[in-house]
Structures are given as C-alpha cells and as structure tokens.
Structure 1
C-alpha cells in the first residue's frame, strides 16, 4: 500500500462530508453528557477523596457526640461521686474503677462524663465564635468590596491593624478586658480574631466580581447598586468564605481552649470544657498526665477533622488546585 493512499482516502471523505453525501455518524460522533454544576462536580471528587472522608467522619462524629453527650454520659459531670476517695497527700486523683473507666479528677468527678459533656461546650464556643466572626467579616468585606474608593481604603487599614497583632495575643487582650470571665467573653474574643480574615477574603472575591460580565451587564441595564451587590456580586463571592469558615472552626476551637487554659474562660467548672480541663490539670501534669492528655487529644483530633475537611473543600472548589 502506497503512502499516498491514506491521504487520498481522507481527502475523499472530507469532500464527501462537504458535499453532504456522508452522514455524521459515518464520520464519527461525540458523546454528549449533561452539564454538571460546580457543587455536584466538587462532590464527585470529594466522595473519592480519603482525606475528606476521614475529616468528615471525625467532624460528624464530634457533632453527634456533642449533641447527645448529656444522654450518653454515665454520670453527672458536676457530681463529686468519688470525693471520699480523694486524699490530697496520698491519692489526690482517684484511678479507674467499676463504673468509672477513666477514673475521676481531683474533685472526685467522673472524668469520662466530663470529657463527653465538654465536647458540647467546645462545639458551642467554636460554632458561635465562627458565626460572629463571619458576620463581622462579611459586613466589612461587603463595604470594602461593594463601594471601593475611600471606604475600601478605610476598612482595609482597620483590617491591617487587626492582622498586625498576633491572633492569640489579640484574643487574650479582648478577653482580659472583661470584668468577669465567661463563655461569652471567650466567644467574642475568638470571633474578633476571625473578623479580619473573613473581611479580606470576601473583599478580594467581591473585587473580582466587580469586573465580571454579569455585573457589568446588570449595571448597563440600570440595576440599582443594592441589587447588584446582594443579587449578583455577593452570592458568587461566598464560595471561598464558606470553605474558610470550615478551617476557622478548627482555629476557633484551639484559641478558645487556649483562653480557657489561661483562666479567661468560664470560671464555673461544673460546666466542663476541654480547654478548662487542661488548665485544671496543670498541677497534676507529672503525676497524673492523663488528666491533661485526654482533653488535649480530643482537641487535636477535632481540630484535625475540621482542617482535613476544609482543605479538601478548598481543593475541590478551587479550579487551580482541583485534582
């Protein structure tokens, strides 16, 4: 077979297609598949991602445990059930026994029950701190991204000042201003740290949306500024913010535990919280390390779960890092 024959057959086929004597099926077909939304496409990748699945299992397990902790705890976490076995000199911390698999703390309270109920307090602090930080950051980000100009400059200088202060130092300073430490002061302090993070992220996303075709078209049609911002710019800018909120949950839990450890959390230890338990275990860290190790491991595992899930969401939704 001469080399010219394949070229001749290809030329004849092209001529036949141009003349309409050959069908499209004869020339070959392209498989048509229905379009997939960004969320559906991200979910297809996430459900095959083992990192996301591990993070989701940890996160869901933590949330479910926090919700049912009061029902599954074997004892009242505030009851001094083993107080008669506490000996300040010889046995300050009762060990495990029947009905108390992890023993008790220095006040004779069941350690397992305090860990279980403490998960609920940790979840409340982390969720509400993230929500308050998200609300404040979105307010500043919308102002800066929607108006621009001197409003943008003023808001961003305020955000830069907040970002220039180390996050834990800022949270510590805000919590220390309260006349009486409480769980609410911890939530406000941790939320204030997250405000500049959300504000800068949302502002950047909205600035990118300002020059997009659909926003320019809406303005050309005479749509008012409020509708452009809240119907066109904001909904398309929330993706990165939602992903960041998952990562911030892990940071909020760690910061709240640090403030409680330093004594700036809820002073009433009848309502256990993991960071508070860490601070209370400090005098016994050498002789009874399990009092500090157990709540510390719980904090680490929960923070790891939120971090793994957040990073996987970021990779799935970001076109630059999709795998």
Structure 2
C-alpha cells in the first residue's frame, strides 16, 4: 500500500476537526435555542398564584369568610333570643345595673337583661346587610356617572365631574350624617342610602379614569374603524376592560361602609328599634355604662375593627396583585 501523502493526511485531519467542531457547535446551538413550552396564564390566574402565597391576603380572606358565615347562620347558632329580657330580674339600677357572665350567658347581658353574645352574633347580620347593600347602591350610582363621563366626554364629562367634585369636597361622614338627618324617621334603609351616597363619587371618578384610558386604546380604535356602533364600543370593549380597579375598590369600600354605618347608628341615626341589634347601635347604647362596664362597648367595637381590617387587608392585596405597577 502506498503511504499517504503528508499533505493529504494534514487535509484529512483538518476536515475531521472541522466536522467534529461543526457538529458540537450545532448541538450547542440546538440546546441553547430550545425553550420549554408552557401554557400562558390569564391575569386572574396569575393574580391568584400570588394571592395564595400572600399571608396578608389569607388573613384578610379568613376574617371575611368567618364574618360572612357567622352573619348568615347567626340566627341559628345564637344561644338565646337577642330581644328577650331573660336576665331582667337581675338588673338592679343601684347595685347591679349590668348582669355579668354566668352559665349560659358567657358575656353577660345588657342593661335590660338581653344576652350580649346573642346580640353580637345577630348584629353581624345587620352589619353585613348594611355594608353590602350600601356598596351595591354606591357602585351602581358611581358606575352610571362614570359611564356617562367616560363614554361621552365633552360637556357631559365636565358636568358629571363637577358634581363629583362637589360631593368629594364634603367630608364623607359629614355628608352621610347630613343625608341621614333629612329622613323623618331613621331606619336601616336611610343608613344604607346615606352611606351609598358617600361612595358614589369614589366609584364614578375611578371608572371614569379607567374608561378614558381605554378610550384611545388600540382595540377601541380598531372597533371604531370597523364601524362598530358607539354603544357596542362602550359596553363591549371599554366597560369590561375598565371594571378591574372598580371591583377591587368595592372590596375596600365595604370596610368603609361598615364603619360609616356603625358611626351613624352610634349617633342615633340608624334603626331606632333596638330589638334588631346592630354593632354601631350597641356601641351607642353602651356609652352610659362605659366607665363601670366597658365590655359593653369593647365587644362591638372589636367586632367592627376586626371585620373592617379583614376587608381592608383583602382589598389591598387584590389591588397589588391586579395592578401591574405594584405587582410583586
């Protein structure tokens, strides 16, 4: 066999090295360019992934859930009738005006012998009713004004916003007090209307701002270019994409509504019938006994504080999870 030419051997060796280097480089490129394909997630699913790891949200949701469940089942689990004067025979204005804790009455009774624990449990239902309906009415009125201002713009926007500015210039509790005082007979309905009126300008300004941001977005401009009617643009494109901040705000407003409703009842502008207990009403009735029997005021006050805290923690966590600017 004729020995290979040195030049041929060198050429073969260079070709082998080039082939090996090329295959390794191609493999490296293929490995570096490979991407693990994962399905995309929606904004709600992404927010839930963060919320379920947030201790603040979990604490707020737990408090809110306990409050709602207790309010719904309170008439069934209350140990006694909250309007029955079961310990009236133990009420002695001079020596024992407030019956203390005893078997069957773990928190004692009030100044007319009614079980305090039962009144706290049933009072949670009245507080929930006022908070929820005041928020719903305020949300409805605010959305109406916000849609008018955000959809039409121009003089309609100016007129609605000047009304909103006037309402926002008045302190919320003072405005609610003034509206409730106009009623000839205070009732639970007057409290709901007064508290709802305070929330209307908040929702209106928030929704109006969100809709104005959507007004010049690409999908709205494309819908108008395709000849979609203005009504369809507003209710099918602008409004659904503007509701996120409003829904989050409604969670925070629930806490404010509960506090405002309790304040009105405390001032005597709530339901005058104390046979239907409510936490703010109970707090007001406890004032003559605050020095000798502070627990009559401490228990309903703690209930108001804890429930308002639960809604606030949950609402703040929702806002952080859904807002791209504060998302963590």
- State the SS of the aligned residue for 1:132: helix
What pairs up with 1:97-136 in 2 under 5 angstroms?
Answer: 97-136=102-141
In structure 1, distance between residues paired with 2:313 and 2:244:
17
CA drift at 1:26: 4.1
Q: Aligned pair 1:252/2:257, yes or no?
A: yes
Q: Which has the larger radius of gyration?
A: 2
Aligned counterpart in structure 1 of residue 168 of structure 2, from 163, 180, 188: 163
What pairs up with 1:172-211 in 2 under 5 angstroms?
Answer: 172-211=177-216
In structure 2, distance between residues paired with 1:164 and 1:260:
24
Aligned to 2:154: 149
Number of residue pairs matched by the alignment: 309
TM-score (norm: length of structure 1): 0.93
In structure 2, distance between residues paired with 1:304 and 1:184:
25
Aligned to 1:295: 300
In structure 2, distance between residues paired with 1:293 and 1:107:
18
Query: Cα deviation per residue 1:57-116 (whole Å; 9 max; x = unaligned)?
Result: 000000000000000000000000000110111111100111000000001000000000
What pairs up with 1:1-323 in 2 under 5 angstroms?
Answer: 25-323=30-328
In structure 1, distance between residues paired with 2:32 and 2:199:
59
- State the SS of the aligned residue for 2:306: helix
TM-score (norm: length of structure 2): 0.92
CA drift at 1:29: 1.1
Task: Report the RMSD for the aligned CA atoms in angstroms.
Answer: 1.6
